[in-house]
Amino acid sequence: METAVVVALTVAVLVFALVAIAALVVLVRRTGAAGPNRSDEPTPEQLSVVQAELEKARREAGEIRTKAEADASEILTRSEATERTAVQLRKEVEEETRVLRNELKELRSDLERREKRLAEREQRLDEEAKRQAERGRQLAETETELADRRAELLRMEEERRAILERVSGFTAEQAKAELVKEIENQAKREAALIVREIEGAARKEGEKRATKIVTLAVQRVATEQTAESVVSVLHLPGDEMKGRIIGREGRNIRAFESTTGVNLIIDDTPEAVLLSCFDPVRRETARLTLEKLVLDGRIHPQRIEEAYERSRAEVQDLCVRAGEDALVELGITDMHPELITLLGQLRYRTSYGQNVLKHLIESAHIAGIMASELRMDPMLLKRCTLLHDIGKALTHEVEGSHALIGAEIARRYGEHEDVVHAIEAHHNEVEVRTVEAVLTQAADAISGSRPGARRESLEAYVKRLERLEEIAQSYDGVEKVFAMQAGREIRVMVKPDAVDDIQAQVIARDVAKQVEEELTYPGQIRITVVRESRAIEFAR
C-alpha cells in the first residue's frame, strides 16, 4: 500500500518538472524569435508569460497530484480488499488442506486395516487348504477302505445268495420275482393309504357339491317312470282279416313286403300280426300302411302302394313335427332342418326299452339345470346333450359308432366345435377335453340309469351279474361275493386273517378298475369290501 502512494507522488513530481521544462522551452523560443536586439535579462512580458506558464504548470501539477492521490486511495482500497480476500482464501485452503489430510489419514488407516484383514484371510485360506488337503487324503484312504469292504460284502453276498438258493430251493430269478411281487404289493398298500387320504380330503367337498347339483337336476326334471317302447304288433278287428292280408296265393303279403321293406309275420296269435324290421321308421311306416288298409278293407297291390305313399309322407311330417316340438320344449331356436328331421326319426327308436328322443330331451333338461348351477351357458349344454345320440338315427345305414357318426353329422351341418366334441366324446371314444363334454356324459348317465328308464334282456342281465361275481372272486383272500341291488353293488367278503384293511382297499380299487375295463353298464357300480373279524369261545 505504501509503495503505491510513493509511486503516485513520484509521478506527480515528474509531471510538474516536465511542465516547468516545457514552459521554459516555450519562453526561450519566444525570446529567440524577438531578434538580435535581445538583452541578457528578460523583459517584464517574458516574466509574466513565464509566471503564467508556471501557474498553469502548478495547477496542472496540483490536479495531477489530486488525481494521483485519488488513484492511490482507490488502489489502497482495492489492495486492502484483495488482502482480505487472500487471507480468506488462505484460511479456506488451510481448512480444506486440514480436512483432506484427515481424510487421507483415515483412508490410510482403513487401507492398513483392510491389508491386515486380507493378510489374516490369506492365512486362514492357507490353513483351510491344508485342512482340505488333509481331508482329501483321509477321504482317499476311506474310499480305498470302502472299496475293500464293498468287495468283501459282494463276496459275502454271493456266498449268502448261494446258501439261500441251496436252503430255499429258489434260484436268484425266482427269488427276485417273489421280492418284486412283495414290493409291488407293499407299494400298492402304501399307494392305497396315500390315495385314501387324498380322496378323503377331496371327496368330502366334491361329493357334497356334486350330489347337490345332480340332486337338484334330477328333482327338477319331471318325466315318466317307464319310457315308451316301439310297438311292432298290429291288432286286427278279426281273424278273417288275416286272409285278406295274405291274399290269393300270398300276393298281397308279397306286395306289402316288397313295397314297405318290412317282414309281415302272421301266426296263430289271435287278432294280431307282427311287423319285423331293423329300421324303426320303416317299421312305423309299414304299421300305418297296414292300419289304413285294414280300416279301408280293400287290400290289393295297388292299394298297398297308395297307402304306403300316404303313410310315408305322414311319418315324415311326424318326424319333422317331433323334432320341432323337442326344440320348442328346450327353447332352442336355430338348427339345420336335416338335424331336426333326424331328431324326429329318433321318436321311433329305443335303446334298452327307452325312447331315444325322450331320453335326449330328458338329458338336455338335466344338463341345462347342471349348467345353471355351475354358472355356465345352459343353452350350449342343452344343444350338446340333445344331439349326443343323433347318430343312432343312421346306425342302421352307416357303419361305425353312433357317437362318431353323430359328430360327423353335426360337423357337416355347421354345429359348434364344442357341440361336436361333446357328441364324439360322450362314450369316451375320444378323450374328453371340455367341461361341456363331461356334463353331457353325466346327463346321459343320469337319464339312462334312473329307475324305470331302461330294461335289458334277461340273458344279458344274468350274464353281467355272473361276470361281476367272477371278477371279484378271482382275487386272493376273497371268501364270498354277492351281486346286489340289481347289479349296481358288489359286496365282497374277504378272509380277515389273509387280508388286512389296507389290502381290502387295494382289492376294492382293483375290482372297480377291472369292471370298468371289461363291462358296459348304465350308471355306476359300487364295490364294497367287508372284512369282519370274529372271536368265538365256549364257556363250559
3-state SS string over 116-155? HHHHHHHHHHHHHHHHHHHHHHHHHHHHHHHHHHHHHHHH
Residue 86: count of CB within 10 angstroms of its CB? 10
pLDDT of res. 36: 46
> Which of these, 265, 268, 299, 269, lies nearest to 283 by C-alpha position?
265
Which pLDDT score, from 0 to 100, does residue 161 have? 75
For residue 37, the model assigns a pLDDT of 47
The second-level CATH assignment, the architecture, of 226-330 is: 2-Layer Sandwich (3.30)
For 331, half-sphere exposure in the C-beta direction (CA atoms, 13 angstrom radius) is 8
**331-450 topology per CATH:** Hypothetical protein af1432 (1.10.3210)
Collapsed DSSP state (helix, strand, coil) of residue 233: strand
pTM: 0.44
Query: What secondary structure letter does DSSP report for 48?
Result: H
Helix/strand/coil for 108? helix
Determine whether 95 is exposed, middle or buried from the number of CB atoms within 10 Å of its CB (0-12, 13-18, 19+): exposed
Helix (H, G, I), strand (E, B) or coil at 491: strand
Arithmetic mean of pLDDT over the chain: 79
Give the length of the chain.
540
Contacts 24+ apart (CB under 8 A), 288-293: 288/314, 288/315, 289/256, 289/259, 289/260, 290/234, 290/245, 290/256, 290/264, 291/234, 293/245
Residue found by looking up cell 357339491 in the block: 209
Residues with Cβ within 8 Å of 297's Cβ and at least 6 positions away in sequence, in order, are 244
Spatial neighbors of 100 by CB under 8 A, at least 6 apart, are none
User: Is there a contact between 458 and 486 (Cβ–Cβ < 8 Å)?
Assistant: no
The set of long-range contacts for 311-319, using a CB threshold of 8 Å and a minimum separation of 24, is 311/285, 311/286, 312/285, 314/288, 315/281, 315/284, 315/285, 315/288, 316/341, 318/344, 318/347, 319/281, 319/344, 319/345, 319/347
Which single residue is written with the C-alpha cell 427276485?
176
Q: Collapsing DSSP states into helix, strand and coil, what is residue 414? A: coil
- Find residue 275's DSSP bridge partners: 264
Amino acid residing at 35:
G
Q: Class of the 458-531 domain?
A: alpha beta
Sign of CA dihedral 129, 133, 134, 139: positive
Please report the pLDDT score of residue 22 as a whole number. 64
Which residues lie across from 489 on neighbouring strands? 484, 526
The parts of the chain modelled with pLDDT lower than 70 are: 1-20, 22-42, 168-172, 206-208, 210-232, 278-279, 352-353, 395-399, 449-462, 485-486, 522-523, 534
Contact 499, 507 (CB under 8 A): yes
How far, in Å, are 29, 285, 366, 402, 514 from residue 427 at the CA level? 147, 31, 18, 10, 18
* Phi, psi torsion values for 300, nearest 5 degrees: -155, 165
Which candidate, 439, 471, 295, places its Cα nearest to that of 370? 439
SS3 519: coil
Q: Cβ(384)–Cβ(417) under 8 Å?
A: no
Q: Is 166 helix (H, G, I), strand (E, B) or coil?
A: helix
- Predicted local distance difference test score (pLDDT) of residue 31: 56
Nearest 5 degrees, angle CA 530-CA 533-CA 539?
145
- In whole angstroms, what is the distance from residue 487 CA to residue 469 CA? 10
pLDDT at 225 (0 to 100): 40
The pLDDT of residue 227 is 38
SS3 content of the chain, % helix, strand, coil (to 5): 70, 5, 20
